[in-house]
Amino acid sequence: MVTVCMPQELLTERDIARLTGLSVASVRRWRLIKAGPPYRKIGAAVRYKPEEVAAWIDSLPVGGQHAEAY
């Protein structure tokens, strides 16, 4: 069975920038260095599946964790 993600469910690079609080240029740089969330090209447009963006964000390292006391 094929699952189809409707276009209105896809996020733009501006949406990703807004979600992360970073610039569109940063989102574009991630694509260039293959470091950001998975994306799809629809013609010249770049789109992201929300669930893949959420999974990517969850996979990022977590900071501020206190190490166990020795």
pLDDT in tens, 13-69: 999 999 999 999 999 999 999 999 999 999 999 999 999 999 999 999 998 866 665
Residue type for 43, please? Answer: G
Under the banding of pLDDT at 50, 70 and 90, the label for residue 5 is low
**How many Å separate Cα 5 from the centre of its chain?**
16
pTM, full prediction: 0.77
Whether the CB-CB separation of 69 and 25 falls below 8 Å is answered with: no
**Residue 54: its pLDDT value, please?**
95
**How many Å separate Cα 10 from the centre of its chain?**
11
**Residue 42: its pLDDT value, please?**
94
Q: Collect all residues with Cβ–Cβ distance below 8 Å to 60 and sequence separation of at least 6.
A: none
